[in-house]
Structure 1
C-alpha cells in the first residue's frame, strides 16, 4: 500500500473562529495577497478536498487561478489542475453544480448507499466524476489509502468545518495553515472552523508551531497537529 498523502488543512477565519457569516453572500475573509498564497498551495497539491455541504453551499470551481502556475504544473508533467475531491454521506449532489464542469478529474467518496444514488447522476455516461463507495460510513483512513493509490502525495483540504474537524479528530492532519482575518462575526449560528469533538490528547495537547507571519492585514499561523506535546 502506498504511503498516505501529506494532509494540509487550509482555512481562513475571523478572530472569533468563524469561516463565514449567515448572510446569503460568501464572507471574504482573506485579502488579495492571501488568496494568491492559497492559489500557490493549490498549485503545489495533487488533490484538493472539500465537503459535500461546501460544494452545495459555495459551489466553487476549485481551480488554480494563475496561468503561470498552471503552466508550471504542465511543464512538470502534472495535470493543469489538481484532482478535485469531495465527501458526502448521503450523496445529495446535483450534476448542475459548477464543481463538476471545470478543471480535471473529480472523485466523490461516499457511503455505499450514497454511491448507488450518485453513480447514475455523475458517473457512467455522464462522465462528471468517479464515485467511490466506502461502506456504511465514510471512513477517512481508507479514503486516504485510495487517494494514495491514485498517486496523490499532497492533499489540500479546504473545508468546511465538519471536514476539518474529522481530519483533526482522527489524527489525520499533518499541517494546519490558518489565516486569521481582523474582523469579528459575532453570530452564534455562523459556521465555525472546528466543531466539538474528541481530539487526540484532549485539551492538554499543544500542537507544534511551524511559523507565524503576516499577509497584509491577515495573520497566518502554521501548526503541526501530529507533533504536539502532552502536558
Structure 2
C-alpha cells in the first residue's frame, strides 16, 4: 500500500482558522491537481473531525476523470474511508451517499447503536483497537480489501497519527499566500507531537501553482 497525505495550509502552517472555519487556501489550478490525485487513488481517507466540520463528499469532480476510471474497470469514484473511533459520523453525512463505497474505521469503544446506524446506511465497518482506532490494523484490513493507492486529506490529528504509526509514504503540501495565526488553529500534524524519532522527509519536487507552492516529499525509511 502507498499512502499519500495531501493538504493545503496557510503560509504559517495552519489548515484552517482557530474557529475551525474552512477558508479557501488554493485556487483552480490546485483544485484540478487534487482532483487528479483523487482520481488516481483507490481510497480517500479523512478523520471524523473533517466530516463533522466540512461534510465533504470526497468524490472526483471532473467528468473526464470519472470516465477514465470507468473505462479502466474501476468505480467512478474511489472508496471513502473515515477514521472514527467512536462512530460519530452523522448518518446524513455526504460520505454516506451512493456516489462511492464507504468504509468507517471504528474502535471497540464505539457504541453498538451508532455502529448499527452506519451499517444500515451502507457503510462497511472495520473495527480495530480498544479505545482508539488501531491504524496499523485498520490499514492492513484496507490493503486486504484491495486498496493499493491511498490518499489522506486530513485533518491534523489523523495525519499525525499516521506519521506516528509509520504509515505515510509521501507528503504533498500546498502552501498558500495567507496567514491564519492562532495557537489553537489546527496544523498539518496535530496530536501529541514528536519529541524523539522525528519523521525524516526528502524533498522530491517544488511547483509554483496559483499564488502558492506545492511541495512534494517522500518519507525516509
Fold match (TM-score > 0.5): yes
Structure 1 segment 32-181 matched on structure 2, within 5 A: 32-114=28-110, 116-123=112-119, 126-136=120-130, 137-181=132-176
- Is the 8 Å Cα contact of residues 103 and 124 (structure 2) preserved in structure 1? yes
* Paired position in structure 1 for 2:27: 31
- Is the 8 Å Cα contact of residues 3 and 150 (structure 2) preserved in structure 1? yes
Aligned pair in 2 of structure 1 residues 16, 102: CA closer, same or farther (>3 Å)?
farther
Q: In the TM superposition, what is the alpha-carbon distance from 1:119 to its structure 2 partner?
A: 2.6
**Which runs of 5 or more residues in structure 1 are unaligned?**
none
1:206 & 1:100 partners in 2: Cα distance? 36
* Paired position in structure 2 for 1:19: 15
* Paired position in structure 1 for 2:201: 207
2:89 & 2:163 partners in 1: Cα distance? 25
1:218 & 1:102 partners in 2: Cα distance? 35
1:80 & 1:158 partners in 2: Cα distance? 19
Q: In the TM superposition, what is the alpha-carbon distance from 1:22 to its structure 2 partner?
A: 3.6
Q: In the TM superposition, what is the alpha-carbon distance from 1:128 to its structure 2 partner?
A: 2.5
Q: In the TM superposition, what is the alpha-carbon distance from 1:117 to its structure 2 partner?
A: 3.6
1:115 & 1:49 partners in 2: Cα distance? 22
Q: In the TM superposition, what is the alpha-carbon distance from 1:108 to its structure 2 partner?
A: 0.3
2:88 & 2:197 partners in 1: Cα distance? 34
2:219 & 2:136 partners in 1: Cα distance? 16
Aligned pair in 2 of structure 1 residues 111, 117: CA closer, same or farther (>3 Å)?
farther
* Paired position in structure 2 for 1:225: 219
Q: In the TM superposition, what is the alpha-carbon distance from 1:135 to its structure 2 partner?
A: 3.2
1:159 & 1:57 partners in 2: Cα distance? 11
- Is the 8 Å Cα contact of residues 87 and 115 (structure 2) preserved in structure 1? no
2:114 & 2:21 partners in 1: Cα distance? 28
* Paired position in structure 2 for 1:184: 179
2:52 & 2:77 partners in 1: Cα distance? 21
What root-mean-square deviation, in Å, do the aligned CA atoms of Structure 1 and Structure 2 show?
1.7
2:109 aligned counterpart, secondary structure: helix
